[in-house]
Amino acid sequence: MTRTSAVTGVSVSRPALIARYDKPGRFYLLATLIPWVLWLVAGYLSHRDEPASAPIAVLGLAGLLAPIAVAWALIRRDPVLVRDTLHRLVNVREVRPVFVLLAVFLLPAALLLATACSVALGYSPDQFLLRGGVSFTAGLIPGWVALTLAPVVEELAWHSYGTDALASRWTVWRTSIVFAVIWALWHLPLGTIQGYYQAEVVETGALATINFLVSVFPFVILMNWIYYRSGRNILVAIVFHLAANVGNEIFRTHPDTKAIQTGLLVVLSALVVWREREVFFTQPTREGAVRVEASPATPLPGSGGTPERP
């Protein structure tokens, strides 16, 4: 499958497009190091006798926005990547309805199933009740704003450049595992900022902390599966992440129930990887890997080109 680019004047195949995201080392070094520095400073300030809320909020937000800035700095140098990224923000027609439904309901459904298992094991049925708020604060930023803003901002970085940068060299399976490790490490300094969600997880105990880190792996595997089966649509990744965040916060879920949810997601992700072996173990930069795209190619926005079929 190919697209004709008005920038280059030649046809650009989807595998060739992914191959152009070719600076994973630079992206992840900067997208991790900058937030770490900012968040560790914010964590230090949050533990002072009279913490200054404004600087902590600014540092927290700056760290969150840093990966987008890094992604844009790398994308803007290549007009083909700019067009490809813009296309992936609007190519909703390439997304099959089943993957939209999975993006919206998969993680909340897994939580409700885990809650049912939890209740069967003797935990309180009150877990099915709505919380009526959020369990954490984010300084001057309201908890619900942080909860909904983070998935949007993060996925605009991870799935505009970061994921394809890894996939330009590796299979989707290896890409997912490596990214999950990086992403888990990326979150660590947030655990030092008093009142932040990750800090609340750490204070809950070792099980909750370990579960958070482990849960990243099935989460990333399932998200990348939906992403590559949806024409690399960035909005689908945002919706998946957003639905997970909101779903895990609106109910009065016991921390142990979230561990059950992680177990269910591990089993589900294993089944998905086994069934979708071609997606996970064929490198997306190979011509034979175009099956990971959900539908035939479409012209890049503004290119005026006509998609060619193999």
Amino acid at 14: R
β-sheet bridge partners, residue 138: 141
pLDDT in tens, 259-293: 999 999 999 999 999 999 999 998 876 644 444 44
Q: Are 307 and 3 in contact (CB under 8 A)?
A: yes
Q: What are phi and psi of 266, to 5 degrees?
A: -65, -45
For the chain, what percent of residues have pLDDT higher than 90?
73
Distance CA(231)–CA(295), nearest Å, equals: 7
Q: CB within 8 A of 24, min separation 6: which ones?
A: 162, 165, 166, 168, 169
Residue 117's closest CA among 274, 265, 271, 273? 265
pLDDT in tens, 71-105: 999 999 999 999 999 999 999 988 999 999 999 99
Burial label, 309 (beta-carbon count in 10 A; 0-12, 13-18, 19+) = exposed
Distance CA(127)–CA(121), nearest Å, equals: 13
Residue 66's closest CA among 158, 192, 193, 185? 158
The pLDDT assigned to 309 comes to: 34
With a cut of 60, say whether residue 127 has pLDDT above it: yes
Tallying the residues shown for the chain, one arrives at 310
Measured from the Cβ of residue 181, the count of other Cβ atoms closer than 10 Å reads 14
Measured from the Cβ of residue 270, the count of other Cβ atoms closer than 10 Å reads 12
Report domain extents, the chain. 2-292
CA distances from 241 to 104, 155, 247, 255, 258 (A): 9, 8, 10, 19, 16
Residue 264's closest CA among 117, 120, 142, 131? 117
Residue 303's closest CA among 9, 1, 91? 9
The pLDDT assigned to 142 comes to: 77
Distance CA(202)–CA(55), nearest Å, equals: 23
pLDDT in tens, 72-81: 999 999 999 9
Q: CB within 8 A of 136, min separation 6: which ones?
A: 143, 146, 195, 196, 197, 199, 200
